[in-house]
Amino acid sequence: MGKTWKQYSEEQGIELNDQYFLIYCGNNEKTSECMKQLHSQYGFKGIPVSAGSLPRGPWFYANINTRFMFVGTIGVNILSGPVVGNHALTMDDFLEILDIFEKYKGYGLLKFPDQL
């Protein structure tokens, strides 16, 4: 049997109250494709969590700061806090948001590219 989310997150130092986006992809196959895209293009890492016999949902959670993502499980609320914005996003919407933050990657909190 695999590790539970709690076991894995404690070992990796992942906070359950971190801010995660909820990305809806339509079905499980598309969810896997979306996660592979984030891994290959943006360096996100998937979290290998055992969901036991519970079915996977057609969505996943992603944290842009830690670059961690994990699939959702129907009937299980893994996070201790709300998702960012209290609503799911499509993959296209999430990529737009991610690209905005990518533009400022490496700059200080209140620094912008035109100020350097």
Domains in the chain: boundaries: 5-10+19-98
The answer to whether 72 and 22 are in contact (CB under 8 A) is yes
β-sheet bridge partners, residue 45:
68
Tokens found for residue 5? 């989310």
11-25: average pLDDT: 79
Please choose, from the candidates 40, 46, 36, the residue with its C-alpha nearest in 3D space to the C-alpha of residue 14: 46
Distance CA 46, CA 32 (A): 10
The amino acid present at 62, given as its one-letter code, is: A
Q: How confident is the model at residue 29 (pLDDT cuts 50, 70, 90)?
A: confident
pLDDT of res. 87: 92
Distance CA 9, CA 36 (A): 21
pLDDT of res. 62: 92
Query: Which residue, chain included where needed, has tokens 């919407």?
Result: 93
**Is residue 39 predicted with pLDDT exceeding 90?**
yes
CB atoms near residue 83 (< 10 Å): 18
Q: What is the pLDDT of residues 56-110, one digit of tens each?
A: 788 899 999 888 888 887 777 767 677 898 899 999 999 999 999 998 888 888 8
Tokens found for residue 35? 């996660």
pTM of the model: 0.79
